[in-house]
Amino acid sequence: MLGLELVVLLGAAVLAGQVVAQRLSVAPPVVLLVVGALLGLVPAVRQTQLPPEVVLLLFLPVLLYWESLTTSMREIRTNLRGIVLLSTVLVILTAWAVAVAGHALGLPWGPAWALGAAVAPTDATAVGVLARSLPRRQVTVLRAESLVNDGTALVIFGLAVGLTVGEEDLTLPHVGALFLLAYGGGAAVGVAVAWINMNLRRRLDDPLQGNLVMILAPFTAYLLAEFIHASGVLAVVVSGLIMAQVAPSLIRAEHRRQALAFWPLATFLINSALFVLVGVELQYALRHLSRADLQDALIAIGVVSVVLVVVRFAFLFSSAYLIRAIDRRARQRELRISHRARAVSGFAGFRGAVSLAVALSVPEALDSGAPFPDRDFIVFVTSGVIVVTLVVQSLLLPGVVRWARLPRDTSIDEEEILAETTATEEAVEALPRLADELGTTPKVTEWLRQEYGAHLATVRARGAGTDEDPALLHNRHYTDLRLALIAHKRATVVRLRDERQIDDTVLRRLQAALDNEEVRLAGREQVE
């Protein structure tokens, strides 16, 4: 019964946190962390320990897969060099700097490196939630960095823990082999799972079966990669990026509509629950430290948080100057961003649930049977650093964005109008030929030509930015009237059901069709 109570309590906490965040205009993760910390005061919750496997094997693949499916591959290709540097070199430097700071504060080198590996990677879910207002290019780079850098951090973490418990041998060939297996093996598994996914989706007509394959894909990729000791994170990301490219021409409309109804809700719930659980875990870690250790841990949280920011800023600015000195091509100059924009990226290095899962993965004991040194200290400091980066940096980020005076990113709107205009123009051009091939009557052909012509005029008017254009006014009146008619039809169908002239099954079928039409007309469908 305790499990069911926790599920209900967690769901209520997510709802309350989201509502409060919306009312106070505060980033939801900040409020959810506070709610989680308050939940930790409840005795039943206080006894609950979040297993790292829940995040690494249950939550993380879903979140990474959806982030991969909704990330711009074009922007990744354009900024690939920067993304690779951020997800590998920056992670290694950050882990090293934190390890040095941790050792200076009294941690042995093995636990210090474990702490460094835990807090080194940025979190894709936190970046996706908190950096949404940034220009598209910066958001894509930040998301892509956080999708890949977990693999680097997990290799470093495995080495640190292995050395501490007495299982690993730190030599250059051994470390190189681990990185090669992590990235090469992870990418190979991702390609293989995507290939299987594509072939299954071609053969499955039932939307439920097709979307079951989609749900299984990230878990399969992660588990297969982990089985061969490769990067499960990279396997999920590669699989998702490949499917994002082939899905538009491979997956049928009814499959896609069903998926777009499921995945945003699922990722919303998982994201929110993870932030609450981080707050709960902070309470758990707090109770396992003595007063003296707590004082040292609070100092460590402040020191490590400063180190993370300093290293990130130093790397972003120094790497930019280094690239400018080495690569002077005109194309490279076009990719340069201002120092103010780079400062915004520096403040967007949020840590999240992945860091907590890595810290919780520290084993309880060494091979000798002795307790792992400073495990509770590592968990508490990691939890505290997550709270600091999410709360302090997320509260500072809007002010930094205003200071940076970033230009408004209108590229999405412009490209959407371009695509819609071109697609409609070519459809109108192909209309006579398609009508002739299908044997369509002239009356229907003319009706469609007029409808597409009105739509094209509306799109062109939107692109011109004239709100009082006759085409836009016509479209607005048409949409309002259609929506009013849909509401009237829905009321009529409900009345027929209430009068027992039709069955509830009929009501649901007609209501689904009316809902689809209403959503399309109102323009409420969004994919990010």
pLDDT in tens, the chain (528 residues): 466 777 888 889 999 999 998 888 877 888 888 888 888 887 777 666 667 677 677 788 888 898 888 887 887 888 888 888 888 899 999 999 999 999 999 898 889 999 999 999 988 777 766 666 677 778 888 888 888 888 888 888 888 887 777 655 666 677 778 788 888 899 999 999 999 999 999 888 888 998 899 999 999 999 999 899 888 888 999 999 999 888 888 888 788 888 888 888 888 888 888 888 878 877 777 777 777 778 888 999 999 999 999 999 999 988 887 877 676 666 666 667 778 888 888 888 888 878 887 887 888 777 677 788 888 889 889 988 988 888 888 888 888 888 888 777 777 778 888 888 898 889 989 999 999 988 888 899 999 888 888 888 888 887 776 667 787 788 888 888 888 999 999 999 999 999 988 888 888 888 888 888 888 777 655 555
Domain ranges of the chain: 51-277+291-407, 410-465
Please name every residue paired with 365 in a beta bridge, in sequence order, or none if there are none. 371
pLDDT of residue 224: 94
Query: What φ, ψ does residue 228 adopt, rounded to 5°?
Result: -100, 10
| Tally of CB atoms within 10 A around 108 | 13
**Which amino acid does the sequence have at 306?**
V
Of 19, 433, 70, 11, nearest in space to 247 by CA: 70
Of 197, 225, 190, nearest in space to 212 by CA: 197
* Structure tokens given for 458: 């509306």
What's the CA gap between 16 and 22, in Å, rounded? 10
Taking a C-beta distance cutoff of 8 angstroms, is the pair 239, 190 a contact? yes
pLDDT of residue 309: 93
What's the CA gap between 274 and 264, in Å, rounded? 15
Please name every residue paired with 371 in a beta bridge, in sequence order, or none if there are none. 365
State the burial class of residue 20 (Cβ atoms within 10 Å of its Cβ: 0-12, 13-18, 19+): middle
Give domain 51-277+291-407's CATH number out of 1.20.1530.20, 1.10.580.10, 3.40.50.1820, 3.20.10.10.
1.20.1530.20
* Structure tokens given for 88: 């590998």
403, 404, 407, 409 alpha-carbon torsion, rounded to 10°? -100
Taking a C-beta distance cutoff of 8 angstroms, is the pair 139, 132 a contact? yes
Taking a C-beta distance cutoff of 8 angstroms, is the pair 152, 88 a contact? yes
pLDDT of residue 132: 67
